Amino acid sequence: MLRFASALTLALGLALSSQAVESTKPPKTRIEPFVDGRLIESLKGAQLHQSEPRDEGSVFSFERPWEGPFSGYCTVIQDGPIYRLYYRGKREQVSDGKGEVTCVAESKDGIHWSRPNVGVVDLDGKRDNNVVLGVDGLSHNFSPLLDKNPKASPEQRYKALGGTMGTGLVAFVSPDGLKWTKLREQPVLTKSMVPYTYMFDSQNLAFWSETEGKYLAYFRVFKDKLRRICRAESDDFVNWSNIQLMEYQTRGGEPAPLEHLYTNQTHPYFRAPHISISTAARFMPGRQVLTNEEAEAIHVNPKYFKDTSDAIFMTTRGGNIYDRTFMGAFIKPGIGAQNWVSRTNYPALGVVQTGPTEMSVYTNQDYAQPTAHLHRYSLRLDGFASVRAPYEGGEVVMKPLRFEGDRLLLNFSTSAAGGVRVEIQDDAGKPIPGFTLADSVESIGNEIERPARWKKGSDLSSLKGKDLKFRFVMKDADLFAIGLAGE
C-alpha cells in the first residue's frame, strides 16, 4: 500500500512498499504522469506508450561572432514571467576551453528569444553583448539552476556548476541569473572525489530536490569505456558526498541495456517534482550515416560527422536508479543530412510550460555547422507518455494507494468513438458501491484536468483516508496522467 500524498515515499523509490506511510501535509493537487510503471498493477489490452514531441522548428540561431557552430550545452529556465536560455558560445573547436563564453537569451513566452545587453564581460574591448561568463574552462559547460531551496538567500537565487576534469566543478551564485560570482575559489567536486578515471566532460547539472531535502548533482563519467552518469548529494551546494553510479532498469525491474549517454539533463518535472525526468542525449560513436560528399555539402566540420545521436527519455524517483521504461528514441533526428552528424540533437536542460496546455523541450541542432541553432518541440502538459488503449479496448489497474483528496482529475484524450471510465476498488480489488464501473460516467474528449464522474457526481471526500485502487477501462484513448485534488 502507498499513500498518494507522500511525495517523499515515492521519490525515494518506496512506492511499492507493502505498507502505507503517513503523510503530514498533503498537497492541494498531486499529479502522477504515466511515465513509468511504478504505480501500475496490471495492464490488459493497453500499453504504456511514449509520446512523440511535435517539431516546432528553429527558435534561436547561434550567429553572433562569439557564438558559432560549436555552441551548445543549453539550459532553459523559467523565472516567473521571464524565460532564460543559457548556452556555451564557441566559434572554433579548440582545447582547454580557450575562447569559450557563457551566453544568455531571454523570452516572454519560451518561443521568441532575444539577447539582452548584459554588459559584464569585455569582448574585443566592448561590453555590448549577452555574455555572462568568460572564464576559460569554466564556461565549457556552465550549467545554472534556479534554486528552489526555501532557505536559499536572495543573493543566491541562482546557482551553477561549471568546469572540467582539469579544473574540477566550480560553484557559482547569482541574485538575478546575469551577474555571477564564485561561491568559493576551490572546486566543490574534484576528480579525487570520484572513483573513475575520466569525468565531468559534459553538462554537469544540479538542482534542489524538494522530496529529498538536499541538492543533487548529476555528472558524466566513463566506466568500462562507456559514458555513464553519477549522482552526488549536498546540503549546502559546497560539500558533496555519497557519489553513486546511476543504474538503469526496465519496467519489469530488470537491468536495462547500457548505452552511451552524453548528457543526462535530469531535473524535477515542474508539475510533479517528486519525479525527475531525464531527456538525455544518446551518443552512437562510430555510427556514421553521411558520406564525405554529403558532409561537405552541409559544411559540417570534417571531424564531426563520424557519429550520430538522438534523445531518449527516462525518469528517476530518487536514489541511483533510472527507469528506462522506453528504450526507443524520444526525439528522432529529422529529415536532412544536417541532422545526422556528431553531437547534434542534444536536448537542452529544462522542460518549461509555454502555453495553457503546452510544454516545450529544446534541442541543440546542426552542431559543428554554420546553421547551428536551438530547436523547439512541444508536448501537452504531462504528455511525455500515456497508457494507450486501442479501439478494441483495454484497461489499467493502479496499485493500492492511500487517497487523501476529494476529486480525481484525468489528463486524457479520446477519439469521437472512444472513452474512459473509472472504477474505484478497495485494496483487495473489490469495487466500492457507488463507484463501480456501472456507476461511472464515461469521459469523452481531450482535456488536461477533467474531474472523473460517477452517477452521484465527482466528490470523493467520503473515501479520504482509505486504501484504494483505480481501474481505468478505456477505448481508443490515451490517459497521460491523473491528479488527486484536495482542499
pLDDT of 99 reads 84
Q: Are residues 324 and 428 in the same domain?
A: no
Residues 285 and 427 in one domain: no
pLDDT, mean over the chain: 93
Contact 456, 440 (CB under 8 A): no
Same domain, 84 and 30: no
Q: Is the model's pLDDT at 325 over the cut of 80?
A: yes
Q: Tell me: do 174 and 31 sit in the same domain.
A: no
Q: Is 378 in a helix, a strand, or coil?
A: strand
Residues 199, 202, 204: CA angle, nearest 5 degrees? 85
Residue 470 sits in the same domain as residue 406: yes
Region 380-406: mean pLDDT is 95
pLDDT at residue 67 is higher than 80:
yes
Instruction: Give the model's confidence band at 28: pLDDT under 50 very low, under 70 low, under 90 confident, else very high.
Output: confident
pLDDT above 80 (res 242)? yes
Domain tally, the chain: 2
Q: Are 127 and 10 members of one domain?
A: no
| Nearest residue to 266 via CA among 213, 321, 329, 194 | 321
Q: What is the pLDDT of residue 287?
A: 98
| 329 and 406 in a common domain | no
Indicate if 326 and 290 belong to the same structural domain. yes
Examine the fold and report which residue of 342, 364, 380 is the final residue of a domain before the chain moves on. Answer: 380
- The domain in which residue 430 lies consists of 2-51+387-485
203 contacts 265 by C-beta, under 8 angstroms: yes
Q: Are residues 38 and 68 in the same domain?
A: no
Q: State which amino acid sits at residue 239.
A: N
Measured at the alpha carbon of residue 63, what is the angle toward residues 57 and 65, in degrees to the nearest 5? 165
Tell me if 322 sits within 8 A of 315, measured CB to CB: yes
- Mean pLDDT over 58-84 rounds to 97
Asked whether the predicted pLDDT for residue 392 surpasses 50, the reply is yes
What CATH number is attached to the domain comprising 221? Answer: 2.115.10.20
Question: For 96, phi and psi rounded to 5 degrees?
Answer: 65, 20
Closest to 474 measured CA to CA, from 381, 385, 396, 407: 396
Q: Looking at this protein, which amino acid is placed at residue 44?
A: K
pLDDT in tens, 100-136: 999 999 999 999 999 999 999 999 899 999 999 998 8
Domain boundary among 360, 380, 400: 380
Residue 98's CB: how many other CB atoms inside 10 A? 11
| Strand bridging mode 2-3 / 401-402 | parallel
Tell me whether strands 247-249 and 321-323 are parallel, antiparallel or unpaired.
parallel
State whether 376 and 432 are in the same domain: no
CATH code (residue 414): 2.60.120
What is the average per-residue pLDDT within 359-381?
Answer: 98
Give just the sign of the alpha carbon dihedral 359, 346, 208, 175. Answer: negative
Element (H, E) at 8: helix 7-11
**pLDDT (tens digit, 9 = 90+) per residue, 134-145?**
988 899 999 999
Question: From the CB of residue 237, how many other CB atoms can be counted at a distance below 10 Å?
Answer: 24
Q: How far apart, in whole angstroms, are the C-alpha atoms of residue 103 and residue 416?
A: 48
Pairing of strands 101-107, 113-114: antiparallel
Q: Is 3 within 8 Å of 21 (Cβ atoms)?
A: yes
